[in-house]
Structure 1
Amino acid sequence: MNQSEFLSTIKPFKDKLFRLAKRLLVSNEEAEDATQDVLVKLWNKNDALKEYGSIEAYAMTITKNHCLDVLKSKRVSNLKIVHNNYTEPGAELHKRIEDQDSLHWVEKWINDLPEQQKLIIQMRDIEEYEFEKIAEVLDMNETAVRVALSRARKAIREKMINTHNYGLQ
């Protein structure tokens, strides 16, 4: 595979690799470094990439593993969710403050989840991956992914009800 073929293959999901790295590493600089490292690994294996059913899933798996290795080496386990499209552009000030507060709480609760559930929430609810692809990346079966996602959402929902006394059920 030549350079232009490689770039055209990687380009559609390069930003997803960065967002996953950012989710795991928090720092923009570390996420950029991790993304570059993953792209170099992919380039070094570019002739073997055709053998994989989904290059994107393979790249996401490499990114996840690379970031977890970085976290282990630094003994950092701080994930942060960043979602810029949460509030409406014309919302009133009090509505924006409430939204920011709710987002803050949801971020905190997601950070309190087990590592696997954090990754599943990120991939399904933020990146909008299909269950099949999540299962492939995390080396789980689809049913286990669905169960873990359900448990994570339930835990967050219960915390919302208890903390904010929301009428969610």
Structure 2
Amino acid sequence: TFLAKGSAALEKLKDLCNDGKEPPSALFQLYTQAVLDITYFEENQLVDEDFPEETSLQKLKELICILSEPEDLVRECNIDEEPINMLGAELLECLYWRKGALLYMYCHTAKERREWLRGNIATFKKCLNDGVHYLMKMLSFRCPLQLNEDVLLEDKDTARLLSEG
């Protein structure tokens, strides 16, 4: 299972840290993979439970925070490298994909809760905007989009045209 894989990765990480022979990038990547494995299990629980109205928003915030930790950790360690150089494009894409997809799935479920939506429209819009931001960031790692402040991405065709140059 994903929890077992995540736990095994953390054990291996502990051994490698004690050994001191691995480059920092390998340690960051192993940690990131453990984070992805463990959060995948929790994300699936939220989806399987149809994002319980009482607890899912808090759990969503926690998961996004956890999925942000690898990139934050690289920055906090004062290593003179960008996160993409330490984690690699593939892992960074996964982190941002998971954050964006999680928010998308939450919003898709929340939009059906009319009563909740009426009282929480600002929260709903923030989740949508954050989700789009994460997905656009995910797309930018291999094919950076150079946008100025005047560009509004109002549909997928606009985003596709801009990403293709």
TM-score of the pair, normalised by structure 1: 0.33
The TM-score, its normalising length taken from structure 2, stands at 0.34
